[in-house]
A and B are shown apart, each in its own frame.
Chain A
């Protein structure tokens, strides 16, 4: 069972993961396991991880998901009602009995997308080493595949699961992927999704992270965008005790663009990290990042945004804005913008603000008869506007709005 001898320095938590690796895996898995055995999990000495410590993750002894179908009807009932084909994963395993499987989609095996970097990213190595399942979505050139729901449900019991997905859009193809994650209890969800977007194609990726409050979410998305293609994403983080969404977008052809908008709404002791790396690798490419954080209780939000502009990428248009609203004196926001620009004719801007609810605005609303809790909710919702407004998909946007309203009710109870 124990295929690789763990290196002496490896963290205990990493060793437990390594012990679960079976030597009869694929080539990708064995290479990833080798990398993981040498490098383990990200640690506090790494610059990219200094604000997000994985100690709470390594404190748990995670186990593989048991086989057999657990009843997830309660979780399914919490899903937004959206009329679209859905792919349901429970504890990382595809559930054909609960899913639709339109043409062009293969589920049941890890996808191992070409853009993945299990040889560079430790969490991607972990995913690749332990991946059991995943979905491969292929949309042929010129085809509009409409909306697809990708759902992950965790059922707890200290299980960790590592699904590996890939989406490939042919030239001019379109797809809206509603990526919903939820669950109950304690578990680790460590997904990887690789998106390959051909010329003129558009992937709209709407992510709603509502993991259980005892759970961990450590995800990585790679988006490789060809000329005139678009990776248009919005990620709403509401759940998990500790979450990190890492997105690597690479703009490889002229007029390629990426929107990496996000909102993190946290309370209690939650910790959530949105980390992006946007590489402008061709001229006339554009990236937009509007990231909003609403932090109450003792929660902590992290945003790390890196924009790399390669020498060839003249006329790059990069924009990054991170804003945080602290609803409590104990909440904390850490923000790290990083611009690496090697071209000389570019437009790149970034900004960050951290503040509280405005007392004058609150008073103004209350003098009009709006009760304080409702006035606060209005101002929080107003704060999120710039991140939510660009969502053109009506059902997706409604699902986000509803989730935000539910989150707010939970905070004010």
Chain B
């Protein structure tokens, strides 16, 4: 379970997160929607431990552990996964090798046995197939020369192989055509279960037609100003953010 209480954070002395309160119980998928500049990406980066953000107050715990006190790799080993809005290219790093190194680093950190090359190959190929990814995507350098859609699918492949307890999807739908969107949504839905939760950050309602959230939160001005069921996303789509932001002000 992810529990965020009154979280505030700055970048360069400018307040971006202004008192976030949010609970994502195990097994639930929550969507965070909000206009540009509302703090959506900052929230995902603060939760995953990126440098350059000053947490000035509040707490964020994950299964009771203080998330903000952990290195990014420790958060990953604890079960947190961030699907990047702009996945990073790693020239010279083989995709399969990268994924195996990541999986085994997490297993090592959790005191589990590492996967050998054969077992890993079997696992990664099966997951790639399920995501309609060509085998050669595993052989290429990480995200190098990938189309926007391929990069996002590669994020979902990593998620499928790493099996996080909590996934944060940061605008995973941006730059996706409808076919890729469905593939990505299928990848997330396949992980749904009592031990998987997700925070789906998105600008548009479209993705939420395919990944139906349990709760929808509206983020504006660094705070959650409204929470509701999946119908809230439709209301936002119909009325726009301005109406709700004005209502909350």
**Which of B50, B81, B105 touches A363 (beta carbons < 8 Å)?**
B50
B72 x A366 contact (CB < 8 A)? yes
**What is the total number of residues of chain B having a CB less than 8 Å from a CB of chain A?**
29
User: Given the interface contacts A366-B72, A368-B162, A370-B73, does A360 sit within 8 Å of B88 by beta carbon?
Assistant: yes
The secondary-structure label for the interface of chain B is helix
| A353 within 8 A of partner (CB) | no
Q: How far is the CA of A363 from the CA of B106 in the complex (A)?
A: 15
Q: Which residue of B lies closest to A384 (CB)?
A: B92
Q: Which residue of B lies closest to A375 (CB)?
A: B73
User: Given the interface contacts A363-B50, A374-B101, A382-B93, does A369 sit within 8 Å of B106 by beta carbon?
Assistant: yes
Collect the chain A residues with CB atoms within 8 Å of residue B77's CB. Answer: 369
The digit string for A360-387, where 1 denotes a CB below 8 A from any CB of B, is: 1101111111111011001101111110
| B91 within 8 A of partner (CB) | yes
Tally of A-B Cβ pairs under 8 angstroms? 75
Interface-centre pick from A361, A369, A384, A386 (highest chain B CB count, 10 A): A369
User: Given the interface contacts A382-B90, A382-B93, A385-B92, does A367 sit within 8 Å of B48 by beta carbon?
Assistant: yes
| B166 within 8 A of partner (CB) | no
The digit string for B63-85, where 1 denotes a CB below 8 A from any CB of A, is: 00000000111011100011010
Q: How far is the CA of A368 from the CA of B80 in the complex (A)?
A: 9
| B158 within 8 A of partner (CB) | yes
| A66 within 8 A of partner (CB) | no
**What is the total number of residues of chain A having a CB less than 8 Å from a CB of chain B?**
24
Q: Shortest CB–CB separation between residue A210 and chain B, in angstroms?
A: 23
Collect the chain B residues with CB atoms within 8 Å of residue A381's CB. Answer: 92
| A359 within 8 A of partner (CB) | yes
| B12 within 8 A of partner (CB) | no
A367 x B101 contact (CB < 8 A)? no
A368 x B76 contact (CB < 8 A)? yes
Q: Which residue of A lies closest to B75 (CB)?
A: A367
Collect the chain B residues with CB atoms within 8 Å of residue A372's CB. Answer: 71, 73
B105 x A370 contact (CB < 8 A)? yes
Q: Shortest CB–CB separation between residue A335 and chain B, in angstroms?
A: 20
User: Given the interface contacts A369-B73, A370-B102, does A364 sit within 8 Å of B92 by beta carbon?
Assistant: no
Interface residues of B in 151-176 (CB under 8 A from A): 158, 162
User: Given the interface contacts A367-B48, A368-B76, A368-B162, does A378 sit within 8 Å of B88 by beta carbon?
Assistant: no
| B51 within 8 A of partner (CB) | yes
User: Given the interface contacts A359-B51, A363-B50, does A369 sit within 8 Å of B105 by beta carbon?
Assistant: yes
Q: How far is the CA of A372 from the CA of B70 in the complex (A)?
A: 13
Chain A residues close to B by CB (< 8 Å):
358-361, 363-372, 374-375, 378-379, 381-386
Q: Which are the 4 A-B pairs with shortest beta-carbon distances? A: A382-B92, A369-B76, A385-B92, A368-B102
